[in-house]
Amino acid sequence: MSTAIPEVERLGVCRIGKEADSVVREIAAAIASGAGPSEVRARQMRSEGWEARVAEMQEIVSAALGVRRKAA
């Protein structure tokens, strides 16, 4: 459950509350859906962790350095 922020909305795996009433409704719905994390959601979120972000940044930096070396 999250408030409506683009970073979370784009993932499409989280309940979104846009105002106080909908936040309360979404929390209640999440509780009613059962305890524990969703395996599907967990699998989708693995690529959103810090390890994935660091790997993505390393690729970007390596590519930029490669272009820079070729231009020199």
Q: What is the pLDDT of residue 39?
A: 81
Q: Does residue 24 carry a pLDDT above 80? A: yes
Q: How confident is the model at residue 58 (pLDDT cuts 50, 70, 90)?
A: very high
Q: Does residue 2 carry a pLDDT above 80? A: yes
pLDDT 10s digits, 39-54: 877 887 777 788 888 9
Tell me the C-alpha distance between 62 and 18, whole Å. Answer: 39
pLDDT 10s digits, 3-21: 999 988 988 888 999 999 9
